[in-house]
Amino acid sequence: MISLGSPISDDRRHSNAARLFEYLNGRDPEPIRQGRFVDLHRAPPVPTTSILTKTDGVVHWRGSVQKRCAHPHTENIEVLASHCGLGFNPSAVIAIVDRLLQPEGEWKPFEPRLSQRWMFPKTSLQ
């Protein structure tokens, strides 16, 4: 699974649209009261890559960090982009293609080529 700047956190405050969402839906919308959308922070039992940017103006980058709770094949890749640009940003596309080209059952963490490393910041995602 590959996500692009997605709010994969139970904490809606990681989104700049949180106030608008609560205004339109109330503090606890019906799906949340019914138990849906709980444990979003848990990685699914499949290889998971979250591509995120610290310059995202819609979803705070901390809300896009996938924690390695129960699945070891989980990673976060930081790129230099805007939220709306993630879908066609060259570094995001490079990471997506790399992830999709992996043979099934042979997951390895993303490692950009030497000539591409400048496109992927190595900052702390904690």
Alpha carbon distance 78, 59 (integer Å):
14
Is the pTM value of this prediction over 0.95? no
- Mean per-residue pLDDT over the chain, rounded: 83
**Residue 126: what pLDDT?**
64
Evaluate whether 106 touches 73 at the Cβ level (below 8 Å): no
Evaluate whether 39 touches 85 at the Cβ level (below 8 Å): no
| pLDDT tens digits for range 77-104 | 999 999 999 999 999 999 999 999 999 9
Alpha carbon distance 36, 30 (integer Å):
9
| pLDDT tens digits for range 24-61 | 766 665 555 565 556 666 777 889 999 999 988 888 88
| pLDDT tens digits for range 57-79 | 888 888 888 877 767 898 999 99
Q: Which two tokens stand for residue 37?
A: 């959308």
Instruction: Give the start-to-end residue ranges of the domains of the chain.
Output: 2-119
